[in-house]
Amino acid sequence: MKGVLKFIVVLSASLAMTMSMAQAQSPPPPAASGGLGRIAYIDVQRVLARSAAGVAAREQLEREKATMQKQMDGKRIELEKLREEMEKKGALLTADARRDRQEQFERKRRDAARLADDFQKELEKKESLLLQKVLQDVSGIIERVGKERNYYMIVEKRGAGVVYAAPDADLTDEVIRAFDQQAPKGPAPAAPATGPAKKP
C-alpha cells in the first residue's frame, strides 16, 4: 500500500493544481453566506475507499492479486517437493546427479523469484492505472460541485497539510454521492489480462 499512498500524494498535488487553474480561468463566484462558503476540502483517500468506483477498482485489484498468489503458491509447493526429494534421496544419488538436482532447484527458485518480481510490478502498474482513472473522474466532479456551491478553493485534506478543518467544510461525502450518481450502472469492464513479461 506504500505505492498507493505515494500515488495519492502525487495525484492530490496534481488535483490541487488543476483546481487552482480552473478557479483562475473563471470569474470569482459571489460571496456565500457565512465564512465557510469560500473554501472547502475533500479527503481523496475516503473517496477511493467509499465510492462505488473506488471499491470496484480495489476489488478488481484483489482478484488480480489472488490469481497471482495462486500461481506463486504452485511454484512454492513445487520447490518444497524438490527440496524434500533432495533431502530424502540425496544420499543415494551420485555426486553428478546431486549436483544436477541442486542446479535444477536453484534454477526453479530463481524463476519463482523473477515471477514474483514481475507480478509485483504488474500489480503496481494496474493499481496506478485504476486509481488514476478514478481520481481523474473525481476531479471533474469536484470542479462541478465547487462551481455549484460557489467555492473559491477546494483543497485535498491530506496533501494540503490541513491542520484544522470544520466539519461543515468537508465536501467528501457530497463528492462521493455525485460521483456514484454519475457512474454507469452495471459491472465495470474488467481490465485486459496480461501476464508478466517472460524473461530468458
pLDDT in tens, 2-44: 454 454 444 454 444 444 444 444 444 444 444 445 788 888 8
Residue predicted with more confidence, 160 or 40: 40
Whether the model pTM is above 0.85: no
Helices vs strands, H then E, count in the chain: 5, 2
Which of helix, strand or coil describes residue 191? coil
**Residue closest to 141 by CA, chosen among 73, 42, 57:** 42
Q: Per residue in 126-147, pLDDT tens?
A: 888 887 888 888 888 888 888 8
Q: How confident is the model at residue 166 (pLDDT cuts 50, 70, 90)?
A: confident
Give the closest residue to 140 by CA, choosing from 168, 107, 182, 110: 182
Place of cell 518480481: 117
- Measured in whole angstroms, the distance separating CA 92 from the mean position of its chain's CA atoms is 51
- The mean pLDDT value of the chain amounts to 76
Q: For 173-184, what is the mean pLDDT?
A: 85
Q: Give residue 10's pLDDT.
A: 45
**Domains, the chain, ranges and CATH?**
25-182 (3.30.910.20)
Residue 156's DSSP bridge partners are: 42
Q: Tell me the per-residue pLDDT of 57-111, one tens digit each, with 9 for 90 and over.
A: 889 899 999 999 999 999 999 999 888 888 887 778 788 888 888 898 899 999 9
Q: Is the model's pLDDT at 173 over the cut of 80?
A: yes
Q: Which secondary structure element, helix H or strand E, spans residue 42, and what is its range? A: strand 39-42
Contacts of 56-64 with C-beta under 8 Å, sequence gap 24+, read: 56/187, 56/188, 57/130, 57/131, 57/133, 57/134, 60/130, 60/188, 60/190, 60/191, 61/123, 61/126, 61/127, 61/130, 64/123, 64/126, 64/191
Taking the CB of residue 159, how many other CB atoms lie within 10 A of it?
20
Per-residue pLDDT band at 163 (split at 50, 70, 90): low
